[in-house]
Chains A and B, each alone.
Chain A
Amino acid sequence: MSVDESLDAVVDVLTDAAPPGSHDRERRHPDMTDEEEALRDAGAVAVLRRGLAVTPELKQGLVLTAVLAVATALGKLAVPILIQQILDRGVLGDAGYRPGFVAAACAGATVLTIGLYFVSRATFLRLVRAAEASLLGLRVRTFEHIHRLSLADHVDQRRGALVSRVTSDVETMAQFTEWGAVAWIVDSVLSVTTIGVMLLYSWQLALVAVGVFLPLLPALRYLQRRQLAAYDEVRTAVGGTLSEVSELVTGAPVVLAYGLQGRTRGRLDDAIRTQYKAQMSAAKWFAVMFPLADLFGAITLATVMAVGAINGPAWGLGLGELIAFIFLVNLLLLPISELSEILDQTQTAIAGWRKILGVLATPIDVEEPIAGRTLPAGVLAVDLDGVRFAYRTGDEVLRGIDLHIPPGVSVAVVGETGSGKTTIAKLLCRLADPTTGTVRVGGVDLREVSPESRRAAIRMVPQDGFLFDTTLGDNVRVGRPDADEAALRAAFTTLGLGGWLDDLPLGLEAEVGERGTNLSVGERQLVALARAQLGDPGLLILDEATSSVDPETEQALTEALDRLSAGRTVVSIAHRLSTAERADLVVVVDAGEVVEQGTHAALVAAGGVYAGLYASWLGNTRVLDHDG
């Protein structure tokens, strides 16, 4: 029945309640990698150990902080001890009232209290500093690691999850370190020392107190579980309400045009009622939790008082000691109920930590060479030999691609969605490495090329034309950080976009907005082309946009693309057959294999897959013109 055992019980609650969502262990989470999956079942202790290993900041000066924390906890015991001393030796003792002793004891206690205030402040500060330093380090390291992960881990469905690794997951830990971590240290020390002092006064009463207190732990543990489950329900209900509101807001045109107000009102009412019920059922547990600790405290107090009053004198206990003991019972109540409150927070923090560790444990697929080779200057040839590729979890996407593109040739890769053509583009700029086979650019295996040389010589223009929330100029400059303004303007004029740039009121200083939303989809693509032009690459990879653009911008785009492509090797991932029509060479990909290649005219004449695609495209768009 030691304090260690009771603390162990608290830790038990923590460890076996820790793996979140253990009830749906069979179901695989779509936003988790294998590594996260594996860590999910790791116990709290394992998580702590690994967590400490990746956050060295936490360990700095930990010993001194721990010493200070013990001092802080001991300080809280000063008052009950003072009560006992003054009552037993200053007032009620055999010597009667001793004003000198009382004054000296009080003065001593005052100095101690003030001194401990500063010790305690220092402890707190040290803990906060260590915690903030580790959170900063953890955040930056996780962010960096995520950026080094292969693009296969950056799919759309996972983006939100990745963002929450460096935001909300770190935030749950921040909340924990602000209060919970400090409380764990101070409260544990405080409970141990309180029980220690109790034992000094009377081991018999200490046993009685701890014995009456003990059932509180399983009771709190039970309530804690119910409360967590209730909060889970509240979260689900709030999610339900939000999705109803979101349907109303995003579907407003439909709701209004079809007169669905009555139906919507009904569904909103149902949702908010469910939410209210869930909240009230959680309130029930919340209402009982704190007073229960109070009640246990009172029962302990009553028992200690009764046992002490009847047996105290026989056990050689003093009156002051008994009264001090009663104050100690109150002192013990505080850390125990606080610990029960922070358990919930601790679990969330450990869950967050576990997820972060999962990301950090995800291996980096593309390792850069230590002393990389430099690609030859000028136009580059491309050679793919026996290239196979499979994403970490999934079937083979490329199944033996052989492709040889001489320098300066423009190639259009066509194929249905899922044929593997986009993967070819990714391999060409080494966003991933082939599972087997080699990708050579300018005769050099891409795996041996230094990242600087690769990024300068090979440029990809992605279809979404992503822009950062800054000025237009800054967005182009990421294509070559040392470029001056003249170079930026030159990039636009070379592509025939000088006029477009001049028409913008602020020109290069124009803010493009979040994701570039101040510009149209087509304009964003223009900026992406200028960015590529600034780099003057020897190999250009174009991932063509599928979305339609207004005719004017379309014209500017086509011209800019032609100018950008001139004198370079170009690989276009074509979504439109009009692009294929203009290319020197057409490569048709189907189910991860090259099924046809040749010039447009030759492939149409051959009457194969490509000829079929072309005929149906013509049929849908031009039949009427030809008729008329």
Chain B
Amino acid sequence: MRRGVRLLWLSVRAQPRPFALAVTGAALFAVMAVGGTIILGRVTDEVLIPAFEEGGVERRAVALGAAAIVAASVLRMVGVVLRRYFGQMAQRRMQVLWFQRVTDRYLTVPLRWFDAHPTGELLAHADADCERSTMAMQPLPFSLGVIVIIAISMAQLARVDPVLLAVAVALFPGLALLNNSYTKKVEQPASAAQARVGDVSAVAHESFEGALVVKTLGLEDREVERLRGRAEDLRRERLVVGRLRAGFEPGLDALPNLGTIVLLWLGAWRVSIGAVTTGELVQAMALFGILAFPFRIVGFLLEELPRAVVANDRVQGVLAAPVRAEPAAPVPLPDGPLDVVFDDVRFAYDEDDVVLDGVSARVRPGEVVALVGSTGAGKTTLCSLVVHLLDPTGGEIRLGGAPLRQVDPDAVQRAAALVFQESFLFADTVRENLTMGDDVEDAEVWAALEVARARTFVERLPHGLDEVIGERGVTLSGGQRQRIALARALLRRPRVLLLDDATSAVDATVERAILDGLRGSVAATTLVVAHRVSTIALADRVLLLEHGRVAAEGTHRELLSVPAYAALVRAYEQDAA
């Protein structure tokens, strides 16, 4: 609760102006809501009662009364519009703020942080959690307005008659109690029901995903029973909520009605002895009519607050994530071709999960080296280390003699390009995917596509470079995607090129043409991870990685005498068809 209040206070302070306007609106509404009942009372006394007496009522008084009723409503309307619109504005602006903080952190965390967090979770932090964090801001202005309503209602009743006030004073705690106990009781089963919805969804998802297995093994009945079980659980939980609501909702109607009945009973007596006018009694009854709903709003606030705190805890969890280390005094990279030196490089995710266990090797400027090893040997990790996506846990990598840890990150990104096996393309045009927003001439773009052997199929796209690809656009094959990703790297004229199985989906003949082309046009120091014998054989030298170390190095032919290498090559051949 205290943390909830602190979160609200923080949010209010971040958006003072819209929030102040929303509260003003809420106060205006509160005043005019009570005002409406006063007007009704006055109208009863000064228009309605005279109307039924001898001589009737003056037209002017009728018009005045009607105008007052409508005017109060117009002011209430202004109040509601102010409160809703600016309340929404305060809330949404706060959501934008949280969103920007969360995504800023996503942009600065080390890459490894992403491995530990599933995509769905990270999306939820940026969307649902940011929104939930601000949800309690919406009922807040109205809740503050409720205080005003109660205060002036009480003041009004106190002015009118102590007996009527006593009835109201007795009614309020009843309403508050009813609300409070419902809110408390319903919270647990409501969230349980929500969790059961997730269970049903999980079963449906798994079951349909395994439809082939379900069908071929005739598991339909078993699956139906499994779903029925979860759906029954959900129904049971929903019935608990339903039973609570069945007690609460009619109670919320009945309680003010009972209050009104008592009010009438006592009021009739007060009117008869002249302590209260008929109009004042009418006013008090109208007041009771508007009191039940505001209590519900306070209930919403109390319901929403703990959820907001929980959601904001998740947001804070993201904001507490570590930031990538930047060199204190960055050094530039030397000009010209760069060599890559691995000096006893070690990398481990934790003590039991050692990936690289002392890799030492040198790739000479302009040389093409193939990196070979079985799954889990550390090839991808080694590539990621060179572009500084990961930091070695021991040893050092030097680019052109400069220790990578001290080099300006921008300079590394400009000099070295890593092309991944899973080619990631943005849902945008081909051109944007290649230039990434930089100003590059079309001729250069086409040249890069040419080397990546992507020119022909891009030319055939209806809109060429302006064709939108990805989710909402043209679907490209795996090999085409890889070639676009390769062209993106080439366009940056890297001095060090790392191909992490980057042409695995490309036809073997085309792959060979690409690698031949690379040699001719790009004088980059190249490290290529490959699974095809034909690709491996194109390299100047081969590094065999085993258990996180360099087990052997030399040309393809030299290494064929190493049994581990020969076995691996045989396995690759089996795979290749």
Contact = CB atoms under 8 A, between A and B. Distances in A.
A261 B217 contact: no
B111 A252 contact: yes
Nearest to B570: A551
Interface stretch (A2-10, A102-110, A348-356, A396-404): A102-110
A128 B208 contact: no
Contacts of A305: 43, 47-48, 62, 65-66, 69
B93 interface: yes
Given A252-B114, A298-B69, A147 B574 contact: no
Interface string B213-250: 11111111011100110011011001100110111011
A576 interface: yes
Contacts of A468: 206, 210
B547 to A, nearest CB: 13
B191 to A, nearest CB: 15
A238 B211 CA distance: 32
Given A147-B223, A306-B66, A323-B48, A251 B424 contact: yes
B88 A257 contact: no
Interface string A245-274: 111111111111111110111001100110
A257 B389 contact: yes
Contacts of A458: 216
A66 to B, nearest CB: 17
A272 to B, nearest CB: 5
Nearest to B508: A620
A464 B336 CA distance: 48
B265 interface: yes
A310 B209 contact: no
A53 interface: no
Contacts of A448: none
A117 interface: yes
A603 interface: no
A620 B576 contact: yes
A114 B254 contact: yes
Interface stretch (A135-143, A203-211, A376-384, A560-568): A135-143
A531 B219 CA distance: 13
Contacts of B254: 113-114, 116-117, 120
A361 B525 CA distance: 62
Contacts of B420: 253-254
B57 A309 contact: yes
Contact of B84 (A76, A129, A287): A287
Interface string B448-463: 0000000000000000
Contacts of A287: 80-81, 84-85, 88
A551 B556 contact: no
B474 interface: no
B571 A554 contact: yes
A225 interface: no
A140 B231 contact: yes
A106 B48 contact: no
Contact of A249 (B114, B231, B232, B265): B114
Interface stretch (B7-15, B95-103, B351-359): B95-103
Nearest to A554: B571
A451 B218 CA distance: 8
A294 B80 contact: yes
A452 interface: yes
Interface in A531-572: 531, 548, 550-552, 554
A144 B204 CA distance: 10
Interface stretch (A17-25, A78-86, A484-492, A592-600): A78-86
Interface in B399-457: 409-410, 413-414, 417-418, 420, 424, 426-427, 436-437
Given A305-B66, A479-B217, A621-B576, A136 B232 contact: yes
Contacts of A117: 250-251, 253-254
A129 B239 contact: yes
B204 A620 contact: no
Interface stretch (B147-155, B180-188, B255-263): B255-263
B88 A279 contact: yes
Interface in B260-302: 260-262, 264-265, 268-269, 271-272, 278, 282, 285-286, 289
Contacts of A162: 204, 208
B71 to A, nearest CB: 9
Interface in A87-113: 87, 90-92, 96-97, 99, 102-103, 106, 109-110, 113
B20 interface: no
Interface residues of B, number: 147
A290 B261 CA distance: 29
Contacts of A625: 533, 569, 573
A49 to B, nearest CB: 25
Interface residues on A, range: 35 or more
B326 to A, nearest CB: 12
B257 A78 contact: yes
Interface stretch (A32-40, A163-171, A439-447, A604-612): A163-171
A99 B272 CA distance: 9
Given A110-B261, A147-B211, A550-B375, A245 B103 contact: yes
Given A147-B211, A455-B216, A459-B216, A254 B424 contact: yes
B88 A280 contact: yes
A551 B568 contact: yes
A62 interface: no
B123 A128 contact: no
Given A79-B257, A125-B246, A249-B122, A309 B576 contact: no
A291 B78 CA distance: 8
A42 interface: no
A451 B216 CA distance: 10
Contact of A106 (B234, B265, B389, B534): B265
B513 interface: no
A144 B224 contact: yes
B409 A259 contact: yes
A288 interface: yes
12 contacts: A92-B278, A113-B258, A125-B246, A129-B242, A147-B207, A255-B107, A258-B492, A431-B216, A451-B218, A479-B217, A551-B571, A624-B533
Please provide the 3 A-B residue pairs with the shortest distance between their CB atoms, ordered closest to farther: A298-B73, A97-B272, A128-B242
Interface of B: 36, 40, 43-44, 47-49, 51-52, 56-57, 59, 62-63, 65-67, 69-70, 72-74, 76-77, 80-81, 84-85, 88-89, 92-93, 95-96, 99-100, 103-104, 106-108, 111, 114, 119, 122-123, 126-127, 197, 200-202, 204-220, 222-224, 227-228, 231-232, 234-235, 238-239, 242-243, 245-247, 249-251, 253-254, 257-258, 260-262, 264-265, 268-269, 271-272, 278, 282, 285-286, 289, 374-376, 384, 387, 389, 409-410, 413-414, 417-418, 420, 424, 426-427, 436-437, 471, 488, 492, 508-509, 531-534, 537, 556-557, 560, 567-569, 571-577
